[in-house]
Amino acid sequence: MDTILVIDAGSSQLRFRIYSVEGEGSLRQQVKGRIDGIGRCPRLQASSAGGDPLANRAYPIEAVPDISAALNIAGAWMRDERHISPIAVGHRVVHGGAEHDRPVLIDQGVLARLDGLTAFAPLHLPHNLAPIRLILADFPTLPQVACFETAFHRTHAAVVDHYAIPRGLHAEGVRRYGFHGLSYEYIAKTLLRVAPEIAMGRVIVAHLGSGASMCALHEGRSVESTMGFTAIDGLPMEVRPGQIDAGVVLYLISEKGMAASRVQEFLHGDCGLNGLSGLSSDIRQLEASEDVNAKFAIDYFIHWVGLNAGMLSAALQGLDAFVFTAGIGESSASIRLRVAERLAWLGVKLDVAQNARQSQLISSTASRIPVYVVPSDVDLMIARHTLALLMNSSSTASKGAS
């Protein structure tokens, strides 16, 4: 059985999925796994597509100090115990820079160029690239595909892409990229199947999760996004502030004496819902709390989702549909209801019962704008891209040989 391996590597977690290649190029998930607590309290957990446990093992800290060690353990488990040898590997890569507007087969040249983008995403890109580097060294003939979170947004117009800074900086790569692109691409393609009547129209997708952003789609393409140069911008998130005046950063440096590295840690870990509430970054805990600061953090989150919906509606010059996705968007009926209330001026009205049931279409018949809940699947999107590039590469090689 041919399989595709999908890898998503972070600072303290390695997530992986294994998909079987079925007839006519379709994909079916076989294994879902991860190694958490890398460098702290490592644990391998894996389950079948049906949720049956396949592994649950703790390791000593010294056995899994980094992503490379985690990949070696996961790889040995797949080969030795599950007898899986993938025909290709797809990777989630947070940043593709201005050059990459689509997934790409990886070689040493591509890897070197991605290394050069590390300054744009220093907390993410080194971890994304570590498994690529290891597999390239140990299995040089195994095809690997980089799938970029920024690529889907490379369709933006120049006025969306630029900051009002000297053009030389833009040429160096200081521009608005947008992120969560794999999620938005999956939603855009899924709408063609589940809601074809609005799929090519003017659609706002709200990716509300631990990282949160919103995207304006027109004809299935990204025309505007709330995130910019980094994944800090836009909506408030679990631990990131969202939109913030650059003067605040200057104040932290000049008046609070923070070094650049400390400011980076602050913006990526001390802010957002966690910073506002002083209680938790988890929206579920905040919703369950009676603490006044927890309530304020949620109010703040709702305010900014509503505010950015107005901005994106202006970018689209109207609105034909609104879609919720990602962890909060897919699971929190109360957040969806409160966001919808902020969008009443656009003609949005939810069906409370359908919203509570987590239905796909949650707007009422009286709503001028249909509202959907569409679960995202970034891993499947990566697997699809990987298989497509693999098949295209094989087809090209066959034509060249003939």
What is 357-376 written as a DSSP string? TT-SB-B-TT-SS-EEE---
- Domain 196-378 of CATH type 3.30.420.40: yes
Phi, psi of 210 (to 5 degrees): -60, -40
Q: In this structure, what token pair is assigned to residue 185?
A: 């691409």
Look over the chain and give the mean of its residue pLDDT values, rounded to a whole number.
Answer: 95
pLDDT of residue 397: 53
Contact 372, 358 (CB under 8 A): no
The number of angstroms, rounded, from the C-alpha of 64 to the middle of its chain's C-alpha atoms is: 25
> What's 3-148's CATH class?
alpha beta
Domains of the chain, by residue range, sit at 3-148, 196-378
- Distance, CA of 190 to CA of 186 (rounded, Å): 6
Instruction: Give the model's confidence band at 23: pLDDT under 50 very low, under 70 low, under 90 confident, else very high.
Output: confident
Instruction: Give the model's confidence band at 1: pLDDT under 50 very low, under 70 low, under 90 confident, else very high.
Output: confident
- Distance, CA of 291 to CA of 294 (rounded, Å): 5
Helix (H) or strand (E) holding 325: strand 321-325
Q: How many residues does the chain have?
A: 402
Fold agreement between 3-148 and 196-378: yes
Contact 354, 114 (CB under 8 A): no
Contact 143, 385 (CB under 8 A): no
In this prediction the pTM is 0.95
pLDDT of residue 399: 57
Angstrom CA distances, 376 to 208, 210, 282, 301, stand at 11, 14, 20, 21
Q: Tens of pLDDT along 149-170?
A: 999 999 999 999 999 999 999 9
Radius of gyration of the chain (CA): 22
Mean pLDDT of 127-146: 96
